[in-house]
Amino acid sequence: MEDLSLSTLIWLRMVRFVQNSNQLSNDHLRQFGLTVAQFEALAHIRNFQPVTQTDLAKGLTVSGGGISRMLARLEREGLIAREQTWKTKHITLTEAGLDVLERAFPSQLHQQSALFDDVLDEDEQRTLHALMKKLYDHSLAERAAAEEND
């Protein structure tokens, strides 16, 4: 076992934390018949509807293909509607979609926040937020740079 660098250790903890957190969210959302990805898609649609698939894909950072399939499932289950105008499809929540989102939203956000609030005080959260912003912005720039020379 080689000795890992500090950044590698941070990376490992972060990946595992995100995995655990997603797992917990999935367990929690199961009672509403939703997955984390679906919950996030519904929440994003509610905030931006009507929205095109391309914009939704960007907002959720998934590929066009991925969003197409997920929306097909959500449509099949009657949670969203896709209205085609011209060449783009505009996505909106159905009654059922809004209903399940409103039932799931509060407890999901609470469950999610608790993971942070239970162990980090306000100051620590501010610090973490600032650090994550730096990392996130940098990773975005790297992704953009990778796009360029392809």
Partner DNA sequence: ATTGATCATTTGCCCTGTCAACTGATAGAC
Partner DNA sequence: GTCTATCAGTTGACAGGGCAAATGATCAAT
Determine if 21 is a binding residue for DNA (CB under 7 A).
no
Determine if 30 is a binding residue for a copy of itself (CB under 8 A).
no
Determine if 72 is a binding residue for DNA (CB under 7 A).
yes
Cα–Cα nearest to 89, from 26, 45, 38, 150:
45
Determine if 107 is a binding residue for a copy of itself (CB under 8 A).
no
Task: Check the CA dihedral 142-69-81-108 and report its sign.
Answer: negative
Determine if 84 is a binding residue for a copy of itself (CB under 8 A).
no
CB of 81 to a copy of itself, least distance (A): 21
Determine if 96 is a binding residue for a copy of itself (CB under 8 A).
no
DSSP, res 33: T
Q: Of the listed pieces 4-12, 21-29, 93-101, 126-134, which binds DNA according to CB under 7 A?
A: 21-29
Determine if 113 is a binding residue for DNA (CB under 7 A).
no
Contact (CB, 8 A) for 73 and 37: no
The pair of three-digit structure tokens given for residue 57, joined into one six-digit string: 């894909």
Out of 27, 83, 95, 99, the residue judged to bind a copy of itself by CB under 8 A: 27
d(CA 82, CA 119): 42
In sequence order, what E strands does the chain have?
51-52, 80-85, 88-93
Say which entry of DNA, a copy of itself, none residue 20 contacts (CB below 5 to 8 A, set by partner kind): a copy of itself
Out of 5, 7, 47, 61, the residue judged to bind DNA by CB under 7 A: 61
One-letter amino acid for residue 121 of the chain: D
Contact (CB, 8 A) for 42 and 100: yes
Residues at the site binding DNA, with contacts judged by CB under 7 A? 19, 23, 26-27, 35, 37-38, 52-54, 60-66, 68-73, 82, 86-89
